[in-house]
Structure 1
């Protein structure tokens, strides 16, 4: 059981951490620009709500800006419209966000629609994206009506729990989590949310303490932020078989680390061990240098690129990013299963859905094009299935044999129906496309060929590079190795 560690004394920053902080802590000018954007967005939203005749509401700033844990150059402003609990769902279902978005658009502002449990809008104000989120006003967790209603409670808790100097400790941890690719609770990452990063600093005091603890973790990891003395057995029974359990101090019925996958936890544990051995900039997201072309992204794969397959799925209309990610992950798992059932050996695979209009998945195989024949071993001659095997293949024009090998088993050489993984995936797309991808446009290509004359997003290039390189940037200097 892990309990909180008060304060952050004994946590001096390394040279690397000082360099990172200088890059991720907002400057005075940036803070002033953000403040003006918040004030303007609040004024605009308040005016729109009054014009729409909405009564008894409060516009409140939430998220990392309100808690002052945001990273330089990466601020999204969260503006919550807190509505009376008795009326909030009626107002939301009556299309409040549609009306707000329409009014903001008429003012000449760029807006975008987003979806979570219910729709919300994004509006661009002074070069900052402001998320406009309707929510129910609650004072305690038991009153929560929608998933976002806890957010103001989380903000209030963090503001009351973290000391001013610990805001920078959160920034260091967020940059570290981003740098190793495990920042974010969404389905795309299945990692550590910003709130969870803040809770870990609240529990252990500072970035270095979190890293030192993480290096010793093994699942299931249990963190008791407030030192409430929960029993391990009680928490495991309550939250089930999760790799990490962090009881939300705002709502003890909730696991704040429920989104963390075993893989994300393992990556943090290993990265923490390596960082303690040798602190380096490569562990932080400020050191990332993403590729700029598909050829550059997969250059390190050499001849392996000929055994890589590209899947592109495009929905008939714009859909929420989380929906795309869900479809993409499901389709990729089914595609991998199909390939393996037909005798192709899958080495690795990746998927990304970083735009609202496309899913990009890539699969690396031992061989994309296999030999025309495969050896198939049947049952022993004394098996009750021997005659059935014999009858099946004795007259099969696409098989050679059967014969009996040295172990007494029936053996046959079969002609492969599909030698090329591309042909298999194209011909049997109905087997690997989930029902949620109905109506999607589907393309299957050799990797580089499928990317020609297409606009490739930065996050898609990073996905390709991840498949090609394998070893993440933070692991590449392991034991001073120069291999990629």
Structure 2
């Protein structure tokens, strides 16, 4: 284990090369600083013109903590309103009024939604998010979901050295590269703040990867030792794969979004990297982008599996926020899996992907076989359970569609019954009401095998299908 002392963690050559590629240059930092300064001034002037006073505009995001990656700037402006009137001001349409004002200044504006609306504004060719929140005095008493953010920034800045900020960049790049960076529902992985806390706790990038080799869910980390008894945390955050106590709000689990799959993926990637450090574990913005795959390439990767792979395409009549669309997609996926397994289909793999445009998603289920045998074994009671055995025999000896009943070698009664559904496509189409949640009402739905659906799929969907078809991620494969 590396000591938690600045400079004690030595970078491998690969890490030095990656850091040189992802650390923002002096020119890039100056450009970001100018955009932050101008955006803050524009927003403050706009608020003043709108007659909104008593607010504090703060600069947040990884830019403010200097843990951002070159080419992947995260720059936020928070409009912190007085707590007593915060929600009323937000509900009264401050975002819409601010959007109109900034638009009148000739700025490009996008409106987005989370817990409440927020804006994205293009300043000096850099997108800046403008988020309303409440200037709460204590981080453990937030009014909105974003109110702790300034406290998080202050904590990270107070704990991190310049060397540790570079270590955070490496860990973010690594997590992006192996597909576990981001707390949104699409990924269910590690947020930027969580990455920073891991560096603060373990000291450096490699120490986090080494520590991960001993992680077992639920992983528990309490940096400031708010809890003396680990059992309290396990009870408080029941079912969490990972528990990282928020240093500024002990009632919050910073790692609540991390799924068991993302945790496992990070542990395995860390194991492989420590044994064979390679650049392809990392994400470097601006690197050569892979071309969008053609349908033929996708089908070639699936090969004989394609006919046993079912794709359900959902198209919404209106654009939805990403988290909403992903939430629906994952609910549909879980329900489809339950239905298929209930009727005897064996699933090799399954997943969902929501399109970048916000209007459609696909659910993929790869089966051992799309079709099942005509008959299904149904075991009855033991022969010596005479009352139940008699009822079983009476029920099935008069059933002309069944084979049997007979007595098995271990003394149980058995019968072979015709399956109601032998084809997974027919099952999903026929019983659609059983696996579509109410949130998917109004969507256009089509269910088909991969070869039948392929021509209706878009570039980003094909790219996801290709990755899913390969199964093993690129970093898990041997170096060629």
Residue matched to 2:143: 145
Q: Is the 8 A contact 1:374 1:415 kept in 2?
A: yes
Partner of 1:430: 433
Please give the residue correspondences for 1:281-320 in structure 2 after superposition, counting only pairs within 5 Å: 281-286=279-284, 290=290, 292-293=292-293, 294-297=295-298, 299-320=300-321
1:151: Cα distance to partner?
0.3
Find the residue that maps to 2:162 and give its secondary structure.
coil
TM-score by length of 2: 0.91
Q: CA deviation at 1:88?
A: 0.9
Task: Identify which range, 325-334 or 383-392, moves more after superposition.
Answer: 383-392
Distance 1:295 1:19, change over 3 A: farther
Superposition pairs of residues 9-158 of structure 1, within 5 angstroms:
9-158=7-156
Partner of residue 449 from structure 2, selected from 442, 446, 449: 446
Match of 2:412 in 1: 409
CA distance in 2, matches of 1:298, 1:170: 39
2:365 alignment partner, SS class? strand
SS in 1 for 2:258: coil
Alignment of 1:225 with 2:223, yes or no, is yes
CA distance in 1, matches of 2:338, 2:238: 28
1:102 to 1:396, Cα distance in 2 relative to 1, 3 A: farther
Deviation at 1:81, TM superposition (A): 0.7
Separation in 2, partners of 1:406, 1:233: 49
Q: C-alpha offsets along residues 312-355 of structure 1, whole Å, 9 cap, x if unaligned?
A: 22233222211222211111111011111112111110112243
Q: Is 1:374 paired with 2:372?
A: no
SS of equivalent residue, structure 1 residue 444: strand
Match of 2:177 in 1: 179
1:388 aligns with 2:391: yes
CA distance in 1, matches of 2:108, 2:420: 52
- The two structures, once aligned, show a CA RMSD in angstroms of 2.5
Separation in 1 of the partners of 2:256 and 2:202?
19
Matched, 1:255 2:256: no
TM-superposed deviation, 1:30:
2.5
Q: What does the per-residue CA deviation read over 1:71-127, in whole Å, with 9 as the maximum and x for residues that have no partner? A: 122223211111111111110011111222233344454433322222212233333
Preserved CA contact (<8 Å) 1:191 1:264: yes
Change (3 A) 1:426 1:291: farther
Measure how far apart 1:397 and its partner are.
4.7
Deviation (angstroms), 1:311: 1.3
Tell me which residue corresponds to 2:365.
Answer: 363
Deviation at 1:435, TM superposition (A): 1.9
- Equivalent position SS for 2:253: coil
Q: Give the C-alpha shift of residue 364 in structure 1.
A: 0.3
* 1:216 counterpart SS class: coil
Paired residues in the alignment total: 475
Q: Map Cα deviations across residues 131-184 of structure 1 (whole Å, 9 max, x no partner).
A: 111011123224421110000111111112111222111010001111121111
Structure 1 match to 2:326: 325
Counterpart CA distance in 2 for 1:453 and 1:360 is 11
> What displacement does 1:309 show?
0.6
Unaligned runs of 5+ in 2: none
SS in 1 for 2:250: coil
Separation in 2 of the partners of 1:46 and 1:311? 47
Alignment check: 8 A CA contact 1:299 1:468 kept: no
**Shift of residue 291, structure 1, vs aligned partner:** 5.9
Distance 1:360 1:222 in 2: 35
- Which deviations, in whole Å up to 9, do the C-alpha atoms of 1:275-314 show, x marking residues without a partner? 2111111221238965622443453332112111111222
Normalised TM-score (structure 1): 0.91
Which range is displaced more, 379-388 or 24-33?
379-388
Between 1:120-129 and 1:328-337, the stretch displaced more is 120-129
